[in-house]
Amino acid sequence: MKFLSARFIVVATAIATWQSATAQTTIPLVDIRAVDPTIAVELRYAGANNFSGHALYPPGTTALVRPEVAPRLAAAQAFLRRYQYQLKIWDAYRPTSVQLRLWQLTHKTDYIADPGAGPGSMHSWGIAVDATLTDALNNAVNMPSDFDDFTPAAMLHYQGIDPAVRAHLHLLQRAMAGAGFLGQRTEWWHFTVADWQKYLPKKTVKRVAQGFETRWQSKL
Ligand SMILES: [Zn+2]
């Protein structure tokens, strides 16, 4: 836990303004598997296995991130493979239209960014991924919860007593922190690049920073 408090700083997902989202269509994106084909991808919004019960992405959707982000995922994967584990991506770049749909379906402010209130999602800037661990043969391993589990089990800091789950989560967090990602307080699977400010318009960063201050002063 000492490691986490020192290096694994929590960041909120909702940091991009919805109005700026129109600019996101021009951001450069690469296919994660084109950079590292060993990384498993199971886009949960591309099929029915998500909380909405149906596909939100068109068939053939690939896991995209900004070009600067993919090598970091490759670094996390290399770290994990040393321990006989691997990375699996549940979500990467998420178009703003899908973010809006998620919000309409959930209205969970702690989990999904509310487009009507201004903020968008780091996913829509290509600088966040949702990721979990698999074993060396790409089998699922026990983690605190499933994807998009809107309960306390989804918290960054594991509350349960299963030492295997605790070990898996810590390994994933070590891999991602070491590769330059931040975690998120309410979703253990969500990771944003630590230097996210670099990839957002200056005006947006300023507003986000103000939002952070308010958010964390009131919630921590
Ligand atoms: Zn996420």
Q: What is the CATH number of the domain that holds 37?
A: 3.30.1380.10
Q: Is the pLDDT of residue 151 over 90?
A: no
- How much is the mean pLDDT over the chain? 82
Ligand 1 centroid, distance to 218 Cα (angstroms): 22
pLDDT tens string 47-97: 999 988 999 999 999 999 999 999 999 999 999 999 999 999 999 999 988
pTM for this structure? 0.82
Range of the domain at 30: 2-219
Q: What is the pLDDT of residue 112?
A: 72
Sheet holding 85-91, edge to edge: 40-41, 85-91, 128-135, 187-193, 181-184
Q: Is the pLDDT of residue 18 over 70?
A: no
pLDDT tens string 99-137: 888 888 876 656 676 655 544 688 999 999 999 999 999
Higher per-residue pLDDT: 41 or 158: 41
Pick from 2, 51, 36: nearest CA to 187:
51
pLDDT tens string 169-188: 999 999 999 999 999 888 99
Contacts of 38 (CB under 8 A, 6+ apart): 77, 81, 86
Ligand 1 centroid, distance to 190 Cα (angstroms): 4
Residues whose CB is under 5 A from ligand 1 (ion)?
A: 130, 190
Ligand 1 centroid, distance to 167 Cα (angstroms): 21
* Counted domains in the chain: 1
Percent of the chain past pLDDT 70, that is, above it, reads 76
